[in-house]
Amino acid sequence: MKQPFFILLLLLFTSTIFAQEVTLSGKITDGSGNAVPFATVYVKNTTKGTSANSEGGYTLNLKPGQYDVQYRALGFKQESRKVDLKANQSIDIVLKAEDYQLKEVSVRAGSEDPAYAIIRKAIKKRKTYLNEVDAYTCEVYIKGLQKLLAAPKKFLGVDVQKMARENGLDSNRRGIVYLSESQSKYSFMRPDKVHEELISSKVSGSNRAFSFNRASDMQVNFYENLQVWQGLSNRPLISPIADNALSYYKYKYAGTTIENGETINKIQVIPRSDYDPCFSGYIYILEDSWRIQGLNLYITKKANINFVDTLKVSEQFFPVSGNAWMPASLKFEFTGGLFGFKIGGYFISLYKDYDIDPKLDRKQFAEVLRITKGVNKKDSIYWEQERPIPLTDEEKTDYKKKAVLAAKRESKPYLDSLDKEHNKLSVGKLLLGGYSHRNRYDHENYNFNSLLSSVSYNTVEGLALGYGGSFTKQIDSVNNRYINIYGKMRYGFSNKLFNATGGITMPVGSAMLNLAGGSDVVDMNNREPISPFMNTAYTLLNRQNFEKLYQKQYASATISKRIYGGWQASAGAEWANRKYLSNTTDYSFFHPKRHEFTSNNPLSPNVDVPLFPENQSFKINVRTTYDFSNRYETYPTGRRYVPSKYPTIGLSFTKAVKNVFGSDVDYNLLSADISKSDIPMGFYGKTSFYVGAGKFFDAKSIYYTDYRHFSGNQVLFYQGGINKFLLLDYYRFSTGDKYLEGHLEHNFSGLVTNMIPLIRKLKLQEIININYLSTPTLKNYTELGVGFQTNVGLRVMYGTSFNNKVGGANQAIRIGANF
């Protein structure tokens, strides 16, 4: 009797499972039979809904029952269907164009458009709706698609046709290059705390990758005055209902309509200037409550956006509890092109199951993102059931075709074939880019420097060859940890000195250990303010030898670790033998008037006397930093801590110990610093700063190489960074006593240049910086710099300095580039 009863129970249980949900599906078109892409479908008085795909197809999984299903798309009249769902059912919907009726208002010539009164009321209510919900949770589905619409057959010697074929594109180099889906649980708490847990992820063509989709990246709130979309625009974008929006927008009343008993005002928004960071399009405002019901906006390259020519953003809201309205869907569409390549695509997010009164703990927001193992391993059955936006035929084909490619790409024969092609040795690799030998399957990589980057020239060594390489191997695939072994040999053809160094970096528990040693010729200024390449150019072409070198034989050990959250620390010990080197050559290609080589002693440029005797040092260094934040992201391979919005403070201590391993030095150095880059200043750009101070005490025995050095600059080109000077001498003002150093830089992000015709096309960012240094021998040295920076980081600056110690005011043009 037990067996029949068990079978009956199993059948009942199985039928219950399969009866839990049924599917409502169909196609949404307009009056002409054209698909209405991404129309919103949701059940009235719930937060359950979906969206049509790009071809108007939709599916909605619901439990059997009676529902009032509403179909919406901006610009169309809403349609409703009362549905009694007992089994899978198909309903096609035709949406008619919305007829927005103009109110009977008396508009005299020169009078204000009625839209302005509505917008003023919406602006007045902006802060109310911005802070309406203190916290909420929801589920988010995000789908992203990018397509290559056109491409040349070849580009800069690269066979684009071959690459397109290998990546599943058609013979015309067109098709989907990125397709992904993700589902997340999202939590928010004011003012800016977020937590996202990725539930599932699918990327076409990869069985291992995680989707780039992030719910936090799709959070767009037009109740904020400014929309800060990093990368897309150098300047924040101004909301059509920002407090100062009337200064940037014109408005036009386009009529009203009634939907679900609510009167909706359609307002056209028009930038006053085509070149301001403003949107065009329509915004829909509810009568009486004056909140946003939806928006359909776009921005073009005229506003100096990056990467794309046009970006469209559409958002729809719906009531979720009481009077609170939350986003139902958000969609970005983009098109762009460069050098014969044309791209297009979209990202769309759907929101459901809102809880605007959740029980949340602030401590849980230390973790910003959680991605656990297996979220990218969901099978097709799972996605068919959970996917709210049905796939188009093109997308189905892309998933199937690239699944075959993914399996092939992960096989050992394929990886070996890629390695074989990559590992081919050529003269170009040896001379220019360097050579690397990869074994993808075993996660090993050998790297060798290029010959040209290994050659330099200086007056100490003459022609110098410093050739090096490294070996990297993954030793822990679970936590994505590697071991790195490296080395370098250096020979000076004029002073005939051979040097060699090497080291190893490896994980030790949760810390990283570095062991290094050998003999090398290094810069007396340990900040290395001038690159060997730039010093070589000035030495050979302009007969100016800025770089000052000495020989260092050393052995060191350093261990670094994250103590907790934003608190990091490192400790190290080094023994070194330091030997002064003299110039051994005075050759240069040219001999400009009044240009003569100086000695290798920066404090005695006309007489080559040793700056310091040969000496030994043994030093212990400890440094700790804290950024006032413990926020992190969790991946299957471990945690990644995210940048803090607060400044980072650092504290360092160096103890030089005499008579240990023959050490001749005896001093203590205590220093502290505080810094922060790219502090947002709204419409007026971003600010960065660095302040550092330090003091040597009990300095009974100290040499020049132990001094505190600074990143000065004496040539046209300089290496970028916040704590860099434009005009300071490389070596003269290093100190063995005390110092105070400060740098302040503001980037106006095109605030002025965007107003100038023709210039605006260059997308230049205005830069102003102030640099300050004070030591016992250099009082209140100050620099002022003004200039411009491009999107790729190249900058041109005019700098001037003020200080009698350096011969009065000095001024020069500087170009910031990493040579």
Handedness of CA 431, 433, 434, 440 (dihedral sign): negative
Mean pLDDT along residues 723-741: 95
Structure tokens at 140: 């988010």
Phi/psi at 429 (5° precision): -65, -45
Strands 93-95 and 65-72: unpaired
The average confidence (pLDDT) of the chain is 89
Q: Are 644 and 630 in contact (CB under 8 A)?
A: no
Confidence of residue 744 (pLDDT cuts 50, 70, 90): very high
pLDDT of residue 170: 82
The residue to which tokens 């068990």 are assigned:
6
Confidence of residue 755 (pLDDT cuts 50, 70, 90): confident
Distance CA 694, CA 690 (A): 14
pLDDT of residue 524: 98
Distance CA 694, CA 653 (A): 10
pLDDT of residue 742: 98
pLDDT of residue 229: 84
Report the first-to-last Cα separation within the chain, whole angstroms: 85
Distance CA 146, CA 341 (A): 13
Burial class of residue 89 in the structure, from the number of CB atoms within 10 Å of its CB (0-12 exposed, 13-18 middle, 19+ buried): middle
Run of H or E including 422:
helix 412-422
Greater model confidence, 422 or 146: 146
CB-based contacts of 591: which residues, under 8 Å, 6+ apart?
Answer: 543
Of the ranges 57-71, 96-110, 540-554, 622-636, the best mean pLDDT one: 540-554
Q: pTM of the full predicted structure?
A: 0.88
Q: Does residue 434 carry a pLDDT above 50?
A: yes
Locate the DSSP E strands across 479-541. Answer: 481-492, 498-508, 511-523
Run of H or E including 7:
helix 2-18
Q: Does residue 5 carry a pLDDT above 90?
A: no
pLDDT tens-digit map of 195-236: 999 999 998 877 555 556 777 777 889 999 999 887 788 889
Distance CA 542, CA 590 (A): 6
In 3D, which of 417, 388, 365 has the Cα closest to residue 143? 388
Q: What is the DSSP string of 373-421?
A: TTTT---HHHHHHH-SSPPPHHHHHHHHHHHHHHHHHTSHHHHHHHHHH
In 3D, which of 778, 609, 766 has the Cα closest to residue 709? 778
Distance CA 18, CA 723 (A): 65
Distance CA 117, CA 114 (A): 6
Q: Does residue 545 carry a pLDDT above 90?
A: yes
| 3-class DSSP state of 126 | helix
Q: What is the CA radius of gyration of the chain?
A: 33
Q: Are 207 and 152 in contact (CB under 8 A)?
A: no
Long-range pairs, 603-607, Cβ under 8 A, ≥24: 603/704, 603/731, 603/732
Structure tokens at 45: 């008085």
Q: What one-character DSSP code corresponds to residue 540?
A: H
pLDDT of residue 818: 61
- The neighbouring-strand residues paired with 111 are none
In 3D, which of 54, 135, 124, 52 has the Cα closest to residue 93? 52
Distance CA 145, CA 163 (A): 19
Q: Are 779 and 764 in contact (CB under 8 A)?
A: no
Distance CA 225, CA 304 (A): 19
Q: Does residue 745 carry a pLDDT above 80?
A: yes
Run of H or E including 120:
helix 115-124
Q: Are 117 and 131 in contact (CB under 8 A)?
A: no
pLDDT of residue 16: 37
Run of H or E including 5:
helix 2-18
Amino acid at 44: K
Q: Are 315 and 294 in contact (CB under 8 A)?
A: yes
Q: What one-character DSSP code corresponds to residue 735?
A: B
Half-sphere exposure of 84 (CA within 13 A, CB side): 0
Distance CA 653, CA 219 (A): 43
Mean pLDDT along residues 551-555: 98
pLDDT tens-digit map of 435-457: 998 887 888 999 999 999 999 99
Structure tokens at 643: 């940048």
pLDDT tens-digit map of 581-620: 999 999 999 999 889 999 999 999 999 999 999 999 999 9
Helix extents (H) in 155-250:
160-166
pLDDT of residue 104: 59
Q: Other C-beta atoms within 10 Å of 505: how many?
A: 18
Q: Does residue 167 carry a pLDDT above 80?
A: no
pLDDT of residue 209: 53
Q: Are 249 and 95 in contact (CB under 8 A)?
A: no
| 3-class DSSP state of 632 | strand
CB-based contacts of 204: which residues, under 8 Å, 6+ apart?
Answer: 176, 178, 179, 180, 395, 398, 399, 402, 403
Phi/psi at 645 (5° precision): -85, -5
Q: C-alpha 501: how far from its chain's center? A: 34
- The neighbouring-strand residues paired with 799 are 785, 812
Amino acid at 311: L
pLDDT tens-digit map of 281-304: 999 999 999 999 999 999 998 888
Greater model confidence, 415 or 804: 415
Question: Which domains occur in the chain, in start order?
Answer: 21-95 (2.60.40.1120), 128-409 (no CATH), 516-816 (2.40.160)
Q: Other C-beta atoms within 10 Å of 495: how many?
A: 20
| 3-class DSSP state of 483 | strand
CB-based contacts of 359: which residues, under 8 Å, 6+ apart?
Answer: none
Structure tokens at 190: 């004011």
pLDDT tens-digit map of 462-472: 999 999 999 99
CA dihedral 255, 258, 262, 265 (to 10 degrees): -10
